[in-house]
Amino acid sequence: MAKVDRYATSRAYLERASKTLAGGVSSNVRRGDKPLPLYFDHAKGAHLWDVDGNRYIDYVLGRGPLILGHGAEEVIEATCRQLERGQIYAAQHPLEFELSERICKIVPCAERVRFGISGSEAVHGALRLARAATGRKIVLKFEGQYHGWLDNILYSLAPHEDAMGDALHPNGVQESRGQFTAAESHVVVLPWNNIAVLEEHLAQHAGEIAAIITEPIMANTAVIPPLPGYLERVRELCTQYGIVLIFDEVIAGFRASLAGAQGRFGIKPDLTIFGKAIANGLPISCIAGRADLMDLIGNGSVGHGGTYNSIPPAVAAAVATLDILAQDDGAVYKKIEKTGQALMDGIRKIGERLGIPLIVQGYGALFYIGFPLGPVDEGQAITNYRTALKVDQEKYNSFVSALADRGVRVIPRGNWFLSSAHSPADVAETLEAVEASLIEVCQPAAAVALGASK
């Protein structure tokens, strides 16, 4: 009897879309989804359904924004109320300052705020601001970190090993054809979590550097936490040399804690960038930071604009989202952390019981899973981009596809996102799928025997 293709409609849609939509998708990141770029019909809470009728427990969550899950009622109601009042004014509205006041109250570094649409453009604005404030050109970023897809910062996110260069002094590698070189864009790349290399570089070149931009949690590569004391020392060095410290919290912001990663770690940058979870899936981003820096935008000396900036429905969604996140002294975060930790612990235990080595690291709201290629030390297994390469990505891709076959959707690069909508029942169902998928991918003979016994 022929096996039924559970993704038949998605395959047909992808073929149809590819005739008019470049690559059949609207973001190149989605081209690598496993088992293929699926098409979805609807979603609610922690679940979504594809066009073939398959239900999934969703740990992709729009790649991070949906901290309250799909279709959070209060957010949807606030958005719809605003849509009835108007979609776009190309002018000011009271919700703008309601949201900016909330952010300035919540986020340690936020004295002034400016809104945009995407994280990429917010990064662009922050870099322009730092260069204007310091009169310097160079921006220092870290290998394996992502700050948007624009030309002037898209370097060494996932460089090929042949192009990376020395581990302590990496090459700045373009991620796309059509980009200028890193030198032409005035970008320098260093390894993350290595304070000695940073100190050495700044001792020689600090006077040329306008900004250091970093994810405070390396969310785009293996959810790597900062080593103890690392961010504190980066902050000290930036203060010492008059360098603008920029935290890219597009992923970590309002997910690591209500006050972001900077609140969780107690480190205050000069500027920070938010997106994703700020409006539970509606398109909005912001630059927030020191008043003296942000006022360069405010007085018009640094250009910043956009037709869709502070578009009312998205701002309404953000106000509603932050109100929910702030309720009951951050009860939502306690729930997410508890649920995510139970899932992480359960996955570790399954790996140990089956004798399958796994890397599981991160936080309850955002964590990473990988298959190590060699022995793993106790504690944190991955500390920077180079160590993140020591995993079996092909095996993980197979694991992702096996999970999808069992109704669990995750991101191929290893990140798992949690929301307040995920329940203990979702965790239990996911752990069953994880165990079956690990056996299928890592112990195929056992999987065949198990299937024969049923």
Pairing of strands 209-214, 408-409: unpaired
- Catalytic position from the list 56, 146, 363, 396: 146
Per residue in 153-200, pLDDT (tens digit) is 999 999 999 999 999 999 999 999 999 999 999 999 999 999 999 999
What class does CATH assign to 8-70+330-453? alpha beta
Per residue in 110-147, pLDDT (tens digit) is 999 999 999 999 999 999 999 999 999 999 999 999 99
pLDDT at 371 over 50: yes
Per residue in 281-316, pLDDT (tens digit) is 999 999 999 999 999 999 999 999 999 999 999 999
Residue 452: band (very low, low, confident or very high) from pLDDT cuts 50, 70, 90: very low
Q: How many helices (H) and strands (E) does the chain have?
A: 14, 14
Mean pLDDT to the nearest integer, 227-255: 97
- Residue pair 95/316 in contact (Cβ under 8 Å)? The answer is yes
Q: What is the chain's mean pLDDT, rounded?
A: 94
- Residue pair 448/396 in contact (Cβ under 8 Å)? The answer is no
Residue 322: band (very low, low, confident or very high) from pLDDT cuts 50, 70, 90: very high
Mean pLDDT to the nearest integer, 445-451: 55
- Catalytic position from the list 50, 52, 248, 270: 248
Mean pLDDT to the nearest integer, 80-86: 96
pLDDT at 29 over 90: no
- Catalytic position from the list 52, 141, 276, 333: 276
Residue 444: band (very low, low, confident or very high) from pLDDT cuts 50, 70, 90: confident
What is the pTM assigned to this prediction? 0.94
Active site residue 345: no
Tell me phi and psi for residue 25, to 5 degrees: -135, 170
Q: Higher-confidence residue: 286 or 374?
A: 286
pLDDT at 380 over 70: no
Active site residue 105: no
Q: Which of 295, 246, 297, 288 is nearest to 110 (CA)?
A: 288
Mean pLDDT to the nearest integer, 378-403: 89
Q: Which of 328, 331, 252, 322 is nearest to 95 (CA)?
A: 322
Return residue ranges of the chain for CATH 3.40.640.10: 73-328
Q: Rounded CA gap, 220 and 388, in Å?
A: 11
pLDDT of residue 379: 46
Q: Higher-confidence residue: 29 or 227?
A: 227
Active site residue 276: yes
Fold classification of 73-328 is Aspartate Aminotransferase; domain 2 (3.40.640)
Mean pLDDT to the nearest integer, 215-243: 97
pLDDT of residue 131: 98
Question: Which has the minimum average pLDDT: 12-21, 68-77, 273-282, 442-451?
Answer: 442-451
Residue 448: band (very low, low, confident or very high) from pLDDT cuts 50, 70, 90: low
Return residue ranges of the chain for CATH 3.90.1150.10: 8-70+330-453
